[in-house]
Copies of this chain bind each other. A is one copy, B any other.
């Protein structure tokens, strides 16, 4: 349940080795490996192309136009974490810039995922601190109202518990429940192993129609060819 004014210090982080493996598979494969759940909405975009990260979620719930809790969240970051910021209502303000990024990096954070705006994007790009956000906005925020840190939040349509594994790349952001990290990494690995062979066949000109044996079910479903 969503409680305001609360910071949970002791959270259970997803198994580190599994989390670290997940980045290598990429968001699309991890999402498939999970059974196609847990994806954030596609409006979440990286501020620069090519970043690919995974980490355990430190969550923060903020109010529109107020980033006070970002500083509270900073203290809860452990090396390898990814901060996931949700807002209690739609907002495009720039909650995060180069100063906070400096602090987050000093604490060992790998990335920020925020369902709002971010600023100083050129500097963040130079610093190599990746952010996935709804938009870019120079609009700053005040520090006046309490939110919470490390409670379950809904970010860009996905439920995130503190400690969940977050995987983010150019395809978007996916959330893997902490308890599923290991089996998801295994499933993703199996999926990937399988893909190399398929890729080779397709590259050689074999059609998916034949490789996946689709011709019969398509005919059965009624597909007609016309010349």
Contact = CB atoms under 8 A, between A and B. Distances in A.
Interface of A: 1-10, 26-28, 31-32, 35-39, 41-43, 45, 48-50, 52, 63-66, 68, 70-72, 74-75, 88-94, 97-100, 102-103, 105-107, 117, 119-122, 125, 135-140, 142-146, 152, 154, 157-159, 169-172, 174, 177, 179-180, 195, 198-199, 202-205, 207-209, 212, 214, 218, 221-227
A125 B169 CA distance: 14
A179 to B, nearest CB: 7
B202 A138 contact: no
A33 to B, nearest CB: 11
A89 B90 contact: no
23 contacts: A6-B224, A7-B224, A9-B225, A27-B119, A31-B138, A39-B138, A41-B90, A42-B117, A64-B65, A65-B65, A65-B89, A72-B214, A89-B92, A91-B91, A98-B199, A100-B208, A102-B203, A106-B203, A106-B205, A121-B171, A138-B174, A152-B159, A159-B159
B10 A227 contact: yes
Q: How many copies does the complex hold?
A: 6
A2 B38 contact: yes
A9 B64 contact: no
Given A71-B214, A120-B26, A218-B68, A225 B7 contact: yes
Q: Would you list the 5 A-B pairs with minimal beta carbon distance, nearest first?
A: A64-B65, A71-B208, A42-B137, A138-B171, A2-B37
